[in-house]
Amino acid sequence: MLTAEQIAAMVNARTHGDPGKTISGVSSFDDAGPKDLTFAVDHSFFSRLNETKAGIILVPNEAPAVSGITLLYSDNPKLAFFKIVAHLMPAEPLKEFIHPSAVIADDCIIGDSTCIEAHVSIGQGSTIGNHVHIMANTVIGKQCRIDDACRISPNVTLADKTRIGRQSIIHPNSVIGSDGFGFVQDGHAHAKLLHTGRVHIGDCCEIGACNTIDRGTLGITRIGNGVKTDNQVHIAHNVKIGDNTLIVAQVGIAGSTTIGRDVIIAGKAGISGHLNIGDGAIIGPYAGVADDVPPGNVVSGIPHMPHKIWLKVSRIIPRLPSLRTRLLSIEKRVKKLESSSTEQP
């Protein structure tokens, strides 16, 4: 149970309406009841503030005041809302615990307050930091290093020598550090290249479920700090990804490509190998990127093109049949004009 006044103090918001109004839960704008806190992020909600049944609404500073509704004005209402969610539904504290079924090599170094669940395997020479949570049935190879406060979800596979920075999360069933797709023609067959590289993931990263991030062929596949990937993302050998880049579901990035900082790659986009995607670039959904993208550029489409052009192109594509019909008609009319112009003299 929190009052509007208490919430305002916790998230540095300004109260409009009843400071004593209380909530005990949180919900989305349309599902909320009178004992829920909710939030409204943009103009589309401002005319509907009286439509939610929420007891208290977190709004941005530019939102209008509505009499009879308790509003909390915040610089970042979504961030503030999720701080209250975390306050009301605190995560269970991690208990120091190693399940007896976990198989951990003798020479591993395991930090304090770390929890290792059932059926985990950890290979020789690996180091696990403090406050790390390794969930059930995860397999960690040899000589891995997992820094403090990481969470490795169930059924994850970390291949040998993988390194994960502190406070990072690996979601279930992801594979980090397996061999890249590297072969060399040897007569008719494809000879396997021995992969001796590894994967380094930075601090505060989040790797989605069923991701595959391949080790470098020789060197390192490097994921910067604060990088977040959605589910089913594929990152090939020797890719480098800059800090705070976001990669949405089902994206594929081919080998040796370098992605800058603060890049956004939308769902299902594909990026070819050996490219440079500059800092702050945005790649649209389903885009097929086969060339470098300069910093700050926004591109979409297959083949990729400036997003503004793609918006026009995507409106024209469904009209191609009628444009073709018009072209054929003009062709006929021009023929007619030509024949009449040659007849004239």
Q: Is 121 in the site for a copy of itself (CB under 8 A)?
A: yes
Q: Which residues, 290 to 319, sit near a copy of itself by CB under 8 A?
A: 290, 301-303, 305, 309-310, 312-314, 316-318
Q: Is 228 in the site for a copy of itself (CB under 8 A)?
A: yes
The bridge status of strand 270-271 relative to strand 282-283 is unpaired
Q: Single out the residue of 89, 93, 95, 106 in contact with a copy of itself (rule: CB under 8 A).
A: 89
**Residues facing residue 145 across a β-bridge:** 127, 163
Which of the ranges 45-53, 58-66, 86-94, 106-114 carries the binding residues for a copy of itself, by CB under 8 A?
86-94
Cα–Cα distance for residue pair 344/325, rounded to 1 Å: 29
Q: Whole-number minimum distance, CB 109 to a copy of itself, in Å? A: 19
Q: Is 276 in the site for a copy of itself (CB under 8 A)?
A: no
Q: Whole-number minimum distance, CB 169 to a copy of itself, in Å? A: 8
Q: Whole-number minimum distance, CB 276 to a copy of itself, in Å? A: 14
Contacts of 248 by beta carbon, 8 Å cutoff, 6+ apart = 230, 264, 265, 266, 267, 268, 269, 285
Cα–Cα distance for residue pair 67/255, rounded to 1 Å: 58
Q: Is 78 in the site for a copy of itself (CB under 8 A)?
A: yes
Q: 171, 234, 237, 304: which is the annotated catalytic residue? A: 237
For a copy of itself, give the closer residue by CB, 63 or 158.
158
Reduced to 3 states (helix: H, G, I; strand: E, B; else coil), residue 343 is helix
b/e per residue 304-334 (b: at least 16 CB within 10 A): beebeebeeeeeeeeeeeeeeeeeeeeeeee
Catalytic residue check, 119? no
Q: Whole-number minimum distance, CB 18 to a copy of itself, in Å? A: 24
Q: Catalytic amino acids?
A: 237
